[in-house]
Chains A and B, each alone.
Chain A
Amino acid sequence: MITLFPAGDSAMLIKAGNDISPETNYLVRQLLFALLKSSTPGIIEIVPAYNELMVYYDPTVINYKEVSGTIHDAEKQLSDVEIPAGRLLKIPVCYEDEYGPDLPFVASAVNLSIDEIVKSHTSQNYLVYMLGFAPGFPYLGGMDKRIACERKETPRIRIPAGSVGIAGEQTGIYSLDSPGGWQIIGWTPIPLFSPLAKNPFLLQQGDRIKFVAVSKDEILSVKNKIETGNYQLHIEMI
């Protein structure tokens, strides 16, 4: 059962559940596609998150009662909605030396060897629960709690795009150069955000990611191939 809460006069928040789970997140996606299918005039944009969606609308076209009606109608159609097949993207990451500057710290903090951390980090299929914080930035779920590590006490001024990090029980990839406090354990040259491209964003909600450990030489070769337009990312439909 979903609940609605007005978030001001031009947005309606839908709460699909109270927990963060793949099931609730799937319900969020079903609601998203049901609402997109309704293509109701006056609905401007729908933004899905972990367990909630925000429906942005133009109250000079459609009022909150009508928006609520559209949402409840969409809820009744969930079983008829087709959800695009999920994708599994294999992201090459170099965890070596300067590419993973905080690995030694994380290793001592969680009392595991560097190899064990890399093995754990590359063994999961992470779910992209949502995108937010920065363009193309994925909130990933499914990290092994054994490698959870608090953020750095003093954030770095600049973390390069492509840095793979750990913050508490979360793992993620920086999509833009930005300041940040995540423990950096690796780097990938795969761009998550290419503003000039036809499809600017690599990831979407519902995707799964697997990190693949590669050597320094290989990661530079991948970088070169990306720069010359000769790289094909491994994507499986699941």
Chain B
Amino acid sequence: MTVRKVKILKSGMLTSVQDSGRIGFQSSGMPVGGAMDNLSLRLANIVLGNTADAACLEVTLAGPEILFEKQTHFCICGAEMQAKLNDTPIENGKAIWAKKNDILKMSFASKGCRAYIAFSGGINVKPIMGSRSTFLAGKIGGFKGRQLKTGDVLTLGQITGKPMQKNLHDDLLNSIFSNKPIKILPGPEIKSFASDAIKKLLSGTFTLSPDSNRMGYRLTGEKISTKTNKKGIVSSPVPMGCIQIPPDGQPLLLMADRQTTGGYPRIAVAATIDLPRLAQIKPGDQLCFEEISLDEAQKFLQEREKIIREMIRNQ
């Protein structure tokens, strides 16, 4: 059995090993982490016939250069970064065959912010607390607990399936690039806000601050304040997509590496169906929000899940 490896020739802006997250330890204060855009990670693994928990590379804004030390299939989903295999452009969402010594080059994101590179068999780093994800702030998991650097060599895992014969649905692949408003639901502290504050959130346009990262996004726009000007709440758990209002009135939107609990009032929570789109917003991009009902939000997810499962079954 040959050991298959890939070598990082250029790291890109922020490239790290991620899977679907470290689940089951939030009650001990351990962040979930994992891919910011879980849909694109999942699709890239489906295309290659990998298991759902296979680890991929998450690359941010500017992509890496990777040398294939052995032949393998790979697949890119998520942001479009003008990927080329030995100078031949390649498409997202397709299983691509790389021969030994081929080089994958990705450059700046022309669409979206985060791309996911899956390899047949996934990336074989040691799981820590059940996950191969890199928790950057805690220097835990992934490849040596850190983002990848030039010269790093990654070992690939055992191949468990075959690449999908049919193509991915274009609308699944491209749903992350829609610029429609982000769908949100009322948060647990919605009653701490006057109706005009909620109106500001729903009618305003916000800009993603450069001071945003895998933990959370800072949104700048019209100031939103609580009714009582109360500064905080008793520390309470916070889901991904949770929109908190800190004392400065500028919304904080929590993402994959968020702390497990937070202390600012939770005005709203983004619909899960739109989390992959949030992961693809770049600093400086603008976004706005619209409210949907809980029934609608869950129906969206159930419908998407049905499409994905049918696609896997009928491949």
Contact = CB atoms under 8 A, between A and B. Distances in A.
Interface in B270-315: 270-273, 294, 297-298, 301-302, 305
Chain B binding surface SS class: mixed
Given A9-B271, A195-B140, A64 B27 contact: no
B269 A59 contact: no
B266 A47 contact: no
A205 interface: yes
B27 A13 contact: no
B188 A130 contact: no
A134 B29 contact: yes
Interface in B63-110: none
The listed residue with most A CB atoms (<10 A of its CB), out of B28, B235, B242, is B28
Interface residues of A, number: 43
A204 B30 CA distance: 12
A108 interface: no
A204 B198 CA distance: 37
Nearest to A55: B237
A205 B31 CA distance: 17
Given A8-B242, A8-B269, A195-B140, A47 B305 contact: no
B27 A46 contact: yes
A136 interface: yes
Contacts of A137: 29
B172 interface: no
B274 to A, nearest CB: 10
A205 B237 CA distance: 14
Contacts of A13: 188, 236-237
Given A7-B188, A54-B236, A196-B128, A132 B270 contact: no
Interface residues of B, number: 41
Given A133-B235, A195-B129, A204 B28 contact: yes
Interface in B164-212: 185-188
Interface of A: 5-11, 13, 20, 32, 44-54, 56, 59-60, 63-64, 130-137, 139, 175-176, 195-196, 200-201, 204-205
Interface of B: 23-31, 128-129, 138, 140-141, 185-188, 234-239, 241-242, 259-261, 266, 269-273, 294, 297-298, 301-302, 305
22 contacts: A6-B294, A7-B239, A8-B185, A8-B241, A9-B272, A10-B272, A11-B269, A20-B234, A32-B27, A49-B234, A54-B236, A54-B239, A63-B298, A131-B260, A132-B259, A139-B235, A195-B128, A200-B25, A200-B28, A200-B30, A200-B129, A204-B27
